[in-house]
Amino acid sequence: MHLFPKSPASIGVGPLIKEMHITPIAITDPPLLNAAGLHAPFALRTVVELVTDDGITGISEIPGNIQTDEALEAARHLIIGKDPFQLGQLQYALEAHFGKESAQDRGDTPWDQRKVVHVFSALEVACLDIIGKICNRPVVDLLGGKMRDAVPFAAYLFFKYEGAGGILGRKKEPALKGWAAARQEEAVDPKGIVAQARAMCNAYGFKSIKLKGGAFEPRVETDAMLALHGEFGKEYPLRFDPNAIWKPETAYIYGKEMEGILEYLEDPVRGQENMGKLRKKLKTPLATNMCTTSFEDIPKSIRLGAEDIILSDHHFWGGLRASMQLSKLCRTFGRDLSMHSNSHLGISLAAMVHLGAALPEMPYALDTHYPWQSEEIIVGGSLEFQEGAVPVPTGPGLGVVLDKEALQRLHEAYKACGLTKRDDEVEMQKIHPEWKFQKVRW
């Protein structure tokens, strides 16, 4: 007896992908500091649109880099004419075409520099958007269904120079109010960081706070965390992330000093070995988006006990379904899962929210850079936060619609800005010519 019709051709014949549009865009970004240097006046993103032969469009957004755009272009022939439901075949074809990437391809920067994971993430999310539209269900339902109605995020603070991005060195605009004004303020000491936290939490209702470190000496950054604890410690969990720029002895000294005030400490040191050793000495849980960043890293992570929390990112882990699989692995091995972020717009945020809503557990509020951005490419403008959380979009697919005019405008900005990849070292050298990125500095 056949459980399925004999001829699979009688089922599963859906629309096929007919067009792919790859649009690099540039969004203004404030002069934020981190271990790799300084954010450029523009952050780059790439928007991918897949259109089926019956006119359904699926969209996605990934970090912008000309190499990823070229790889997407090189993969065009693997995508056009294909069934958007056959994601396994698509992944297999991409890996066969590009070869597998190794953990080393990730690079030493705080962000992931691999290519194929980004390409697959872009295609997978756009296909899920199409599938959701065909089935008339939100993406969260394709990932297993909704475990929560809204997804909580954390305030993500940065040491920063004065200004708003867009034009290098642009000064504050006096007419701005609220967070729009605070976003432009300088924050280079504990006082500035506390003021930034207050303004961001007031505007978005966040109930957890993360400080990006690695920009100043550990003493200054630890003092900023102690100041945040003094101001918010009773109400909000706090986290700190120096992006692996501390030596093990430094991380031990300051990690001990911050014991008891942190919800978790993110990438205090470089590499799974150093993380595993430090983890045995500190009571604070350790999190990472730098040392355990792919499925290949999991066996060693478990052997060494490298971290307590893996910060997934669907752009880096190869999509939303891969992040769901990661959540299962985390559960199996006693790890928690949360989410990492880079500068991004609403398509990425919507994808993060669908994933966050489907995760079986969510012990920590997710990271997002969203408050630092001031432009949008989705119809209706920025997605709204309610009490620090984003309600899961209810429309079919991702539930957000691409604003074509805004896309064109930001594509023109991309062409005019002259950037083709993120390079925070070069940006820092425009202000401090002698500055050099160091993997481990203090």
- Binding region for Mg ion (CB under 5 A): 241, 266, 289
Q: Least distance in Å: CB of 327 to Mg ion?
A: 18
Q: Should residue 342 be labelled a site residue for ligand GKR when binding is judged by CB under 6 A? A: yes
Considering only residues 120 through 159, tell me which ones interact with ligand GKR, judged by CB under 6 A. Answer: none
Q: Which option in Mg ion, ligand GKR, none does residue 342 bind, with CB closer than 5 to 8 A by kind? A: ligand GKR
What are the angstrom distances between the C-alpha of 329 and each of 120, 143, 302, 312, 320?
20, 16, 11, 12, 14
- 266 and 295 in contact (C-beta within 8 Å)? no
Q: Least distance in Å: CB of 139 to ligand GKR?
A: 23
What is the x/- site pattern for ligand GKR, positions 22-61, by CB under 6 A?
A: ----------x-x---------------------------
- Judged by beta carbon, residue 192 or residue 213, the one nearer Mg ion is 213
Cβ neighbors of 75 (< 8 A, separation 6 or more) are: 94, 97, 98, 119, 123
Q: How far separated are the first and last CA of the chain, in Å rounded?
A: 68
Q: Least distance in Å: CB of 316 to Mg ion?
A: 11
Cβ neighbors of 371 (< 8 A, separation 6 or more) are: 155, 156, 179, 183, 200, 203, 204
Fill in the DSSP letter of residue 173: -
From candidates 42, 111, 206, 264, binder to ligand GKR by CB under 6 A: 111
From candidates 68, 91, 272, 289, binder to ligand GKR by CB under 6 A: 289
Query: Candidates 257-265, 275-283, 319-327, 336-344 — which segment interacts with ligand GKR by CB under 6 A?
Result: 336-344
Considering only residues 177 through 216, tell me which ones interact with ligand GKR, judged by CB under 6 A. Answer: 212
What is the x/- site pattern for ligand GKR, positions 56-95, by CB under 6 A?
A: ----------------------------------------
CA separation for the pair 107, 214 (Å, rounded): 17
315 part of the active site: no
Q: Which option in Mg ion, ligand GKR, none does residue 32 bind, with CB closer than 5 to 8 A by kind? A: ligand GKR
From candidates 115, 118, 340, 354, binder to ligand GKR by CB under 6 A: 340
CA separation for the pair 332, 381 (Å, rounded): 39
280 part of the active site: no
**Position of tokens 């271990």?**
35
Query: Candidates 178-186, 220-228, 335-343, 384-392 — which segment interacts with ligand GKR by CB under 6 A?
Result: 335-343
DSSP 3-state of 52: strand
Q: Least distance in Å: CB of 347 to ligand GKR?
A: 18
The dihedrals phi and psi of 389, each to the nearest 5 degrees, come to -125, 150
Q: Least distance in Å: CB of 312 to Mg ion?
A: 12
DSSP 3-state of 358: helix
CA 291 to chain centre: 16
Using a 10 angstrom Cβ sphere, with 0-12 exposed, 13-18 middle and 19 or more buried, the burial of residue 166 is middle
Instruction: Name the helix (H) or strand (E) containing 79.
Output: helix 76-79
Query: Candidates 45-53, 159-167, 339-347, 358-366 — which segment interacts with ligand GKR by CB under 6 A?
Result: 339-347
Single out the catalytic residue among 212, 315, 354, 369. Answer: 212
Count, residues in the chain: 442
Q: Least distance in Å: CB of 394 to Mg ion?
A: 31
Structure tokens at 124: 């997978």
CA separation for the pair 182, 279 (Å, rounded): 36
Q: Least distance in Å: CB of 372 to ligand GKR?
A: 9
∠ CA 84-26-81, nearest 5°, is 20
Q: Should residue 243 be labelled a site residue for ligand GKR when binding is judged by CB under 6 A? A: yes
| Total residues in contact with ligand GKR, by rule CB under 6 A | 13
| Closest C-alpha among 137, 133, 136, 155 to residue 145 | 137
Query: Candidates 60-68, 116-124, 275-283, 338-346 — which segment interacts with ligand GKR by CB under 6 A?
Result: 338-346
Single out the catalytic residue among 340, 344, 354, 369. Answer: 340
Residue nearest to ligand GKR (CB): 34
- Name the E strands within 29-154: 33-34, 37-38, 42-52, 57-63, 150-152
Q: Least distance in Å: CB of 5 to Mg ion?
A: 49
Residues lying near ligand GKR in the complex (CB under 6 A): 32, 34, 110-111, 212, 241, 243, 289, 340-343, 367
Active site residue ranges = 212, 340
